Amino acid sequence: MPERKKGLMIVVSGPAGSGKDTVLAELQGDERFRRSVSATTRAPRPGEVDGRDYHFITRETFEQWIADGEMLEYTEYCGNYYGTPKKAAEAVMESGTNLILKIEVEGAANVERLYPEAVTIMLLPPTAAVLEARLRGRGTESEEVIRTRLARAREEVAHVKDYDYVVYNHDGRAAEAAEMIRRIVEVEGHSTARNPHIAEAYFA
Ligand code: 5GP
């Protein structure tokens, strides 16, 4: 049976409150998937580890990496650079492991242009009301901040049509959303468009 050797590039986007990190954490430990570690110029948040959560680098270094062609894609988001280091990403896919990029909508559109074979997934809370409730969280933020975040989320959701798949993340059911991502990837592995030499290989 011919096997597809290279891993797939899987783009996961979703507005704040979609629970991307929780869902992707469910895929940790599954050797078929590896998260790409992005580079960023933003400061680490408490608990974040350099090299695990992000490569935390200076603007100068980031711009040097861009100039050297080291970035597969990058974007400026809320005043900071974020990007996917190219060599590490390609090494993961070459090894046959599926690579997960957790990136925002603009980066996802860039990836789609450069790698049309990428599988793009938007993760959403099940309804707009749940999205709002999650953004309001414990009510520690001002109404103005919440409104800004809601407006941004609305803009991001508007891009859902540009994605191949949508996955809903219900409260407390992140494992189900992760399972849906696994299934999508499994089905994509059976795509004849992705495996154009099946007949030749079959009779070889
Ligand atoms: P945060 O600062 O909350 O970790 O991330 C902010 C946004 O940047 C999120 O939407 C996240 O998905 C996105 N992001 C993280 N890494 C990358 C990357 O390498 N490229 C792009 N385009 N976006 C990224």
Q: Which ligand 1 atom lies nearest to the CA of residue 83? A: 19
What pLDDT, in 10s, does the model give residues 11-63? 999 999 999 999 999 999 999 999 999 999 999 999 999 999 999 999 999 99
Question: Is residue 5 over pLDDT 90?
Answer: no
Each domain of the chain, given as residue ranges in start order, spans 9-190
Question: Is residue 1 over pLDDT 80?
Answer: no
What pLDDT, in 10s, does the model give residues 135-147? 998 677 889 989 9
Ligand 1 atom 9 nearest Cα: 104
Q: Does ligand 1 come within 6 angstroms of the Cβ of 36?
A: no
Using the mean position of ligand 1's atoms as its centre, give its distance from the Cα of residue 83 in Å: 8
CATH of 9-190, picked from 3.30.420.40, 3.40.50.450, 3.30.70.20, 3.40.50.300, is 3.40.50.300
Using the mean position of ligand 1's atoms as its centre, give its distance from the Cα of residue 59 in Å: 16
| pTM check: above 0.85 | yes
- Measuring CA to CA, which residue among 133, 123, 128, 129 is closest to residue 168? 123
Q: Which ligand 1 atom lies nearest to the CA of residue 102? A: 12
- Percent residues over pLDDT 70 in the chain: 98
Q: What is the pLDDT of residue 196?
A: 86
Q: Does ligand 1 come within 6 angstroms of the Cβ of 107?
A: yes
Using the mean position of ligand 1's atoms as its centre, give its distance from the Cα of residue 80 in Å: 10
What pLDDT, in 10s, does the model give residues 165-179? 999 999 999 999 999
Q: Which ligand 1 atom lies nearest to the CA of residue 16? A: 10
